Amino acid sequence: MSSKNINITVKVWRQQDAKSKGIFESYPLSNISTDSSFLEMMDVLNEKLVTENQEPIAFDHDCREGICGMCSLFINGHAHGPDSLVTTCQLHMRKFNDGQTITIEPWRSGGFPVIKDLMVDRSAFDKIMQAGGFVSVNTGGVPDANAIPIAQADAEEAMDAAACIGCGACVATCKNSSAMLFVSAKVSQLALLPQGKIEAARRAKNMVAKMDELGFGNCSNTGACEVECPKGISLAHIARLNREFLCAKVKE
């Protein structure tokens, strides 16, 4: 590991609130360690802004270990930046060069309105989950966990889908602002398991209807979402969602 320090220029989208117009502001930063994370670089910038009595840049983040899904950021044209299979909080400055200009934008989608600066409102994802992203069981009165054997391959594929962190990179990347990868991950996870199979068609129908209602676009199979997904959620889940959705329609 060779640690060094680099100088960079950060070009950031600043927007006071949902109603205001936003603009790009540029900030030079010197002596950033390549071992620091991208968000630690943002911390340094914010610390500097506070010292200068300016308002720091608002951005969402929480766990800083790539699992909570709260961080976002469109960095140099890529959701979660130039590295693959990482969230912004796991991105490190060693992926950037001395003298580079780094452009940082919020997720841009009609479904995710900007709240402030780089922070967006992703509550639409919660609403889609509330429409059907569950197995309808109450607490208590369920069978023993080993009463339902599940083939290991099915459990593993369900786990692949369940790894979705709900960050919204797929929507931000899609030219149609489609939420199909997000929706398909949940539909697919539960359709693969006997517990979820029972209401699979109904679930697909309700979640897709909610997604359409909230203004997310259609999937045109470009596969951009899969490339930018920090958890490597596969497009194959969209195919399974389409199958379940068709089933639901045929039954009607």
Partner 1 sequence: MTKLNSKIPEGQIHEKWANYKAHQNLVNPSNKRKIDIIIVGTGLAGASAAASLAEMGFKVKNFCYQDSPRRAHSIAAQGGINAAKNYQNDGDSIYRLFYDTIKGGDYRAREANVYRLAEVSNDIIDQSVAQGVPFAREYGGLLDNRSFGGAQVSRTFYARGQTGQQLLLGAYSALSRQIGLGNIEMYPRVEMMDVVVVDGRARGIVTRNLVTGKIESHFAHAVVLATGGYVNVYYLSTNAMGSNSSAAWKAHKKGAYFANPAYVQIHPTAIPVHGEFQSKLTLMSESLRNDGRIWVPKKKEDAEAIRQGTKKPNDIPDEDRDFYLERRYPAFGNLVPRDVASRAAKERTDHGFGIENNPTKEGVYLDFKYAIDRLGKGVIEARYGNLFQMYEKIVDQDPYQTPMKIFPALHYAMGGLWVDYELQSTIPGLFVAGEANFSDHGANRLGASALMQGLADGYFVLPYTIQNYLADQIGVARMKPSERPEFKEAEEAVKAHINKLMSVKGTESVDSIHRRLGLVMWNKVGMGRTEAGLKEAITEIKALRKEFWANVRIPGSADAMNVELEKANRLADFLELGELMAIDALHRNESCGGHLREEYQTPEGEALRDDNNFMYVGAWEYKGENTQPDLHKEELKYEAIEVKSRNYKTA
**Of 104, 131, 211, 225, which lies in the binding site for partner 1, with binding defined by CB under 8 A?**
131
With contacts defined by CB under 8 A, name the span among 100-108, 140-148, 214-222, 236-244 that binds partner 1: 140-148
- If one asks whether residue 40 binds partner 1 (CB under 8 A), the answer comes out as yes
Comparison of 69 and 217: residue with beta carbon closer to partner 1: 69
Q: What is the closest distance, in whole angstroms, from the C-beta atom of residue 208 to partner 1 in the complex?
A: 15
Does position 99 interact with partner 1 (CB under 8 A)? The reply is no
106 binds partner 1 per the rule CB under 8 A: no
Candidate ranges 44-52, 73-81, 172-180, 219-227; the one touching partner 1 (CB under 8 A) = 44-52
214 binds partner 1 (CB under 8 A): no
> Per-residue DSSP letters for the chain?
----EEEEEEEEEE-SSSSSPPEEEEEEEEEEETTSBHHHHHHHHHHHHHHTT-PPPP----SSSS-S-----EETTEET-SSSS--GGG-BGGGS-TT-EEEEE----TTS-EEETTEE--HHHHHHHHHH-S----SS-PPPGGGS---HHHHHHHHHHHT-----HHHHH-TT-B-HHHHHHHHHHHHHSHHHHTTHHHHHHHHHHHHHHTT-B------HHHHH-TT---THHHHHHHHHHHHHHHH-
Contact flag: residue 159 with partner 1 (CB under 8 A): yes
Please select the residue that binds partner 1; options are 123, 218, 220, 221, rule is CB under 8 A: 123
